[in-house]
Amino acid sequence: MITTTIFPGRYVQGYNALDLLGEESARLGSKALVVADPFVHEAILPELLPSLQRHIDTQVEKFGGECSDEEIDRLATAGQTFEAQVVIGIGGGKTLDTAKAVAYFLHLPVIVVPTIASTDAPCSALSVIYTPEGQFKRYLFLPNNPNVVLVDTRIIVKAPVRFLISGMGDALATWFEAESCQIKRAPNMTGRLGSMTAYALARLCYETLLTYGVQAVTANRAGVVSPAFEKIVEANTLLSGLGFESGGLAAAHAIHNGLTVLEPTHHYFHGEKVAIGTLASLFLTGKTPEAINEVYSFCEAVGLPTTLAEIGLKNIGDDDLMRAAEKACAPGETIFNELGDITPQSVFMALKAADAEGRRRKGF
Ligand SMILES: [Zn+2]
């Protein structure tokens, strides 16, 4: 039996962690192409660049807004002309995915600096490529995870709390999906079996959410970087990332993918839809009432959706919901990493059951 576990090269997190970006960059080269969100240009770079430039030469490029082949080509050309030795991405998910892809095509190391904690994508060896118009185009599987992931919680805490909550929705799925892969001996994102390390980290991810989730939301609302806030940022970004890549995905993300065929869900964040996918997966896999109660209570306490209405599907018809269930069961989907009878019909029932339970608990 061969297991495989993958990690980012280094993970740095804390209040004012950006002060270390120059030092971390200089370990990897002497010229950096910096790809930054427009927001980062205005709010972060004026303060950051002088300290960064004490360690490394920089060329700053403003991210165009879409992680497309065209944008990747443009930035790769800029990096080549500058003779960059390292790529630094600073911003949201698409900026980081673009920086990872640019570094891959230039054969350079990459540092990613997320400015929100809304998903577990920063640590992963994956970029999602879109058309310039924003339609999903393809996954770009990268040969390596980022060399450095640097998370400054002073920046993260300034983002609206909905990002942190959504990140907890993404992280909530991690243990349930990894556990299913462990039980079924299903492969992780490398195509090989996960390790006990990955499953243990996925479990720690879930326990951290249950213990510190509510306190972290309170801290974020107050604009305070508390120990609970630090722990949840780490759970959302690192534990969830390691857990999903090396533990594996299963029903929750497949049901998320299914829900995206329904246009009203496009206005909701990845982690919000993954939370609904997780709740449905509890019914799909026949979890105990105690386990189901624990997850619903957590979602309600931190403000994650527990009903279809809360992801835009208030008046969803059975035919539309069935379309989502069918998409969740598309050939090759990770939903087949679950044990038992997985069919569009069983997924449809699980979604209806999850929604009914959410409404019952809310009193309607
Ligand atoms: Zn996810």
| Close Cβ partners of 7 (under 8 Å, ≥ 6 residues apart) | 123, 145, 242, 246
Please tell me the least confidently modeled range out of 116-120, 129-133, 194-198. 129-133
Q: What is the mean pLDDT of residues 138-152?
A: 96
**25 pLDDT higher than 90:** yes
Q: What is the mean pLDDT of residues 223-252?
A: 97
**133 pLDDT higher than 90:** no
- Give the pLDDT of residue 57: 98
**pLDDT tens track for 51-66:** 999 999 999 999 999 9
Catalytic residue among 97, 120, 270, 355: 270
Ligand 1 centroid to Cα of residue 271, in Å, is 6
Ligand 1 centroid to Cα of residue 275, in Å, is 10
Cα atoms found within 13 Å of the Cα of residue 291, Cβ hemisphere only: 14
SS3 category, 113: strand
Going by pLDDT thresholds of 50, 70 and 90, the confidence category of residue 331 is very high
Residue 107 is among the residues annotated as catalytic for this protein: no
Tell me the Ramachandran region of residue 80: left when phi exceeds 0, alpha when psi lies from -120 to 50, beta otherwise: alpha
**Beta strand 136-141 with 126-130: parallel, antiparallel or unpaired?**
antiparallel
Cα–Cα distances (Å) from 99 to 4, 36, 95, 231, in that order, read 25, 9, 6, 26
Ligand 1 centroid to Cα of residue 111, in Å, is 21
Give percent of the chain with pLDDT exceeding 90: 95
Backbone angles phi, psi at 27, to 5 degrees: -65, -25
Tell me the Ramachandran region of residue 349: left when phi exceeds 0, alpha when psi lies from -120 to 50, beta otherwise: alpha
The answer to whether residues 170 and 119 touch, using CB atoms and an 8 Å cutoff, is yes
Ligand 1 centroid to Cα of residue 296, in Å, is 19
The answer to whether residues 67 and 139 touch, using CB atoms and an 8 Å cutoff, is no
Residue 256 is among the residues annotated as catalytic for this protein: yes
Backbone angles phi, psi at 290, to 5 degrees: -65, -45
Catalytic residue among 37, 253, 319, 341: 253
**pLDDT tens track for 295-316:** 999 999 999 999 999 999 999 9
Q: What is the mean pLDDT of residues 69-90?
A: 98
Ligand 1 centroid to Cα of residue 216, in Å, is 20
Q: What is the mean pLDDT of residues 210-236?
A: 98
Ligand 1 centroid to Cα of residue 131, in Å, is 21
Rounded to two decimals, the pTM is 0.96
As a whole number, the mean pLDDT across the chain is 96
Cα–Cα distances (Å) from 276 to 8, 57, 173, in that order, read 28, 45, 10
**pLDDT tens track for 154-174:** 999 999 999 999 999 999 999
**pLDDT tens track for 170-218:** 999 999 999 999 999 999 999 999 999 999 999 999 999 999 999 999 9
Ligand 1 centroid to Cα of residue 28, in Å, is 29
> Rounded to the nearest 10 degrees, how much is the dihedral formed by the CA atoms of 197, 198, 204, 205?
160
Q: What is the mean pLDDT of residues 118-136?
A: 90
- Give the pLDDT of residue 134: 81
Ligand 1 centroid to Cα of residue 197, in Å, is 20
| Close Cβ partners of 64 (under 8 Å, ≥ 6 residues apart) | 71, 74
**97 pLDDT higher than 90:** yes
| Close Cβ partners of 135 (under 8 Å, ≥ 6 residues apart) | none
- Cα–Cα distance measured from residue 239 to residue 179, given in angstroms and rounded to the nearest whole number: 14
- Cα–Cα distance measured from residue 172 to residue 167, given in angstroms and rounded to the nearest whole number: 8
Ligand 1 centroid to Cα of residue 31, in Å, is 33
**Beta strand 126-130 with 11-14: parallel, antiparallel or unpaired?**
unpaired
Catalytic residue among 37, 152, 170, 355: 170
Ligand 1 centroid to Cα of residue 84, in Å, is 31
Strands (E), the chain: 11-14, 31-36, 57-62, 86-91, 110-114, 126-130, 136-141, 148-152
Residue 170 is among the residues annotated as catalytic for this protein: yes
| Burial of 47 per CB tally in 10 Å (0-12, 13-18, 19+) | exposed
**pLDDT tens track for 99-108:** 999 999 999 9
Residue 270 is among the residues annotated as catalytic for this protein: yes
Q: Which residue has the higher pLDDT, 1 or 215?
A: 215
Going by pLDDT thresholds of 50, 70 and 90, the confidence category of residue 135 is confident
Ligand 1 centroid to Cα of residue 253, in Å, is 6
- Give the pLDDT of residue 105: 98
Q: What is the mean pLDDT of residues 277-286?
A: 97
The answer to whether residues 131 and 120 touch, using CB atoms and an 8 Å cutoff, is no
| Close Cβ partners of 263 (under 8 Å, ≥ 6 residues apart) | none
| Burial of 103 per CB tally in 10 Å (0-12, 13-18, 19+) | buried
The answer to whether residues 70 and 45 touch, using CB atoms and an 8 Å cutoff, is no
Ligand 1 centroid to Cα of residue 170, in Å, is 5
Helix and strand numbers, DSSP H then E, in the chain: 15, 8
Q: What is the DSSP letter of 273?
A: H
Catalytic residue among 37, 120, 256, 355: 256
| Close Cβ partners of 361 (under 8 Å, ≥ 6 residues apart) | 296, 300, 306
- Give the pLDDT of residue 1: 87
